[in-house]
């Protein structure tokens, strides 16, 4: 046990707990081509937005992206954490339009839309 209020599971229990999460989570990745005039093009030709989604609820529980700066990666995560991928994506896109001024806005929107679409396609296939 560690000190304070944190509880540290023994390695075997952490592994078992992780397996339970893996069964309930789905990784969905959306992609978009980065424009040539964007500074981030030097690092990546494509922007990827990776979402860890709780299969039971459709809720985004973890977010990562290949955005070049930590600030933008954190902003994308804050924007998407807790969102439900079965809900309308329009409010997310509107927030990007209002709050992100830069060449990366288009690829960010497109990568998120691509992830939403991939989830919807997989979800429909699993229901049939």
If pLDDT is split at 50, 70 and 90, which confidence band does 18 have? low
More confident: 126 or 68: 68
Residue 12: pLDDT band with limits 50, 70, 90? low
List, for residues 97-112, the tens digit of each pLDDT value: 999 998 899 999 999 9
- The Cα–Cα gap between 128 and 123 comes to 9
Residue 76 contacts residue 67 (beta carbons within 8 Å): yes
- Domain topology for 25-127: Sufe protein. Chain: A (3.90.1010)
Report helix, strand or coil for 70.
Answer: helix
Residue 122 confidence (pLDDT): 87
Provide the pLDDT for residue 124: 77
pLDDT digits 0-9 by tens, 41-100: 556 689 999 999 999 999 999 999 999 899 999 999 999 999 999 999 999 999 999 999
Q: Model pTM?
A: 0.79
Q: Check residues 125 and 12 and name the one with the higher pLDDT.
A: 125
The domain ranges of the chain are 25-127
DSSP for 76-96 reads HHHHHTT-BTTS-SHHHHHHH
Q: What is the pLDDT of residue 99?
A: 97
């Amino acid at each position: 046990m560690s000190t304070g209020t944190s509880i540290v599971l023994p390695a075997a229990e952490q592994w078992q707990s992780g397996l339970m999460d893996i069964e309930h989570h789905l990784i969905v990745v959306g992609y978009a081509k980065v424009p040539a005039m964007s500074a981030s093009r030097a690092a990546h030709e494509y922007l990827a937005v990776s979402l860890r989604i709780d299969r039971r609820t459709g809720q985004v529980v973890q977010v990562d992206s290949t955005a070049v700066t930590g600030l933008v990666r954190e902003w994308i995560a804050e924007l998407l954490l807790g969102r439900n991928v079965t809900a309308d994506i329009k409010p997310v896109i509107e927030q990007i339009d209002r709050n992100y001024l830069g060449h990366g806005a288009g690829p960010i929107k497109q990568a998120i839309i691509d992830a939403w679409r991939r989830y919807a396609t997989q979800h429909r296939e699993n229901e049939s």
